[in-house]
Structure 1
């Protein structure tokens, strides 16, 4: 049993990279995708040739979140109606949470044929292009649940160590107390924010940065427009994007006020984490700096006023929920 109360342990942002496991899962599962034509022809996915990208499982306030954005190169093969062995390649540029779970865009399929063309070969190629996508998408739809079933126990602290199942939805109350039906007095007490005198609080600064395939103006808009923020944060947002107005991200997990906004250049705002470990009433200062290059924009996040001892946790939070949030919608680029 964790020494930390359940409500506290599951409040933190946690991420686990599961990319190697995901590649193995796709290698094993996608080769089961096969379709038979009206005659003797049959075609199937023969291999996962390459996979590029990241797959993670995140947890915030007892909610498990799948974060994935990968490019796949698949091999396909089959037998034409005249007995000819046929093969080719299929590239899917983006398999992500957005097009598998959120359905905000369609999957793109790029097909190629390695076998010399003939009427029978062309008919099999047409069968592959017509029938395999729907079967692949059915298999992809199983992927998010497979991630949670296999890795959920590693980022979620269960109240019963004998269970490794996926937790049900849970929403902490505004007081920060656990929503369990019978919380112990110790757990309820521990889940309340710890009040520290501001003068006694030792703080430091953490920074993260990444390059994205987007203009500085577009990134600025995605960071401040409450209609666009949910695309990468996967949660409701409140943001009027004016100095001295309050904002709320990640369903209330982060709150603060805007200090100044320079479109396409910089956003400065106060920043507080809604967590029992974050000192009550304390606000750090987050500065988002945008530097546009010829084909990408570097986003640097500098958070000043982080309580000493929380540097590693907050760095993971910034990388997991801001940087990987943008990567999950297909904006990632190499620095």
Structure 2
């Protein structure tokens, strides 16, 4: 219960035009079904894969049954979505022979992890066997899983805008949505408004490395770190990403930010990187190296000039809020090295 004289915005009624359900505190629900239908079609239609045998592309979403909604209960966002979808794909071999097939995903829901999705790829009746079927079954399924992961991320970021309304002073208190990977800002970076300590004295620093393996290509994994909507998807929060040398980035409610220093497509990203709570103007240098391992990509993370007192938190942050979050959001799950 709000305390007397503290001006809790939940009870400021007379200062709002609607004078009801202040700040959407008690219970609000938003139907995301129509938005989801359009977003799923947008993400799926046009997906293509290609190799020496030819090219395949998803041409149409033929079935999209289900619903989606978001509830705001006392400032906490609760997500519900459940979809059964089918799509058509077409393939053209290098010799010009055309093939047709279908894709079915019967269990896209908030109860299933992205890596547990059943993605069924088939050839239409009377179509002869073709290597393109295996291409679509393997690479096509991977890209479909990535697109569906993006949908979930957009649902939890793009569609939630305005779910928690401004208070009487006009400030919107937008909470980070609940997600499978819990973003604990007390670990990833304090949200305190107190100024971080100054760098007036030399700071003891350390360096460390970690490796992880992802079931995707270097090209796709490289893109996850530089495409703003994909960063918002796996962090489940608003982000700013300028994908160029000298470009800035800010994510996790401003608790992590920095600047890109070197970008080598599909191979390497070098950045100045820091927690908001680190001493003023102190940055670590983080280098991401992407190595193609056939069906997998090895990511090596080298962190240098990390404050010694922050080593464990920084290491855990990269493992949990980058690596594990990316795997769960886009279905790139693999063994942890």
TM bracket (short chain)? 0.3 to 0.5
TM-score by length of 2: 0.45
TM-score by length of 1: 0.45
